[in-house]
Amino acid sequence: MKNKFIKAASARAIRPGTMQRVELDGSRILIANVDGRYYAVDDTCSHEDASLSTGSLKGEFVKCPLHGSRFNVRTGEAMEEPAHESLRTYAVRVEGDDILVGLG
């Protein structure tokens, strides 16, 4: 199935080293800016129902605020317990100031 790209955020609003949660088609998605590149993953920790957007971003790793699990925002991979399940990743493209996330 081909991705349907939806405008998710303004590139100006998500500076390098920051992240923002957006809701697209009923999904909570975290957009992170790592050194000027944007990545999108599920916003909900795979261990517990916690929003990763309230955690911390260091380099390409987001840390869950609840139990400290870390995830790689580039790959979605769970890097640290207690989470074992990876996050879903989404295709991202930038057009002008618009960050578009691929759903599908």
What pLDDT does 104 receive? 76
What pLDDT does 67 receive? 92
| Mean pLDDT of the region 68-80 | 97
Cβ distance 72 to 79 under 8 Å?
yes
Report the distance separating Cα 7 and Cα 49, nearest Å: 25
For the domain covering 4-103, report its CATH number: 2.102.10.10
Residue pLDDT, tens place only, 8-62: 999 999 999 999 999 999 999 999 999 999 999 999 999 988 999 999 999 999 9
What pLDDT does 10 receive? 97
| Mean pLDDT of the region 76-91 | 96
Look up the pTM and report it. Answer: 0.94
Cβ distance 16 to 36 under 8 Å?
yes
What pLDDT does 70 receive? 97
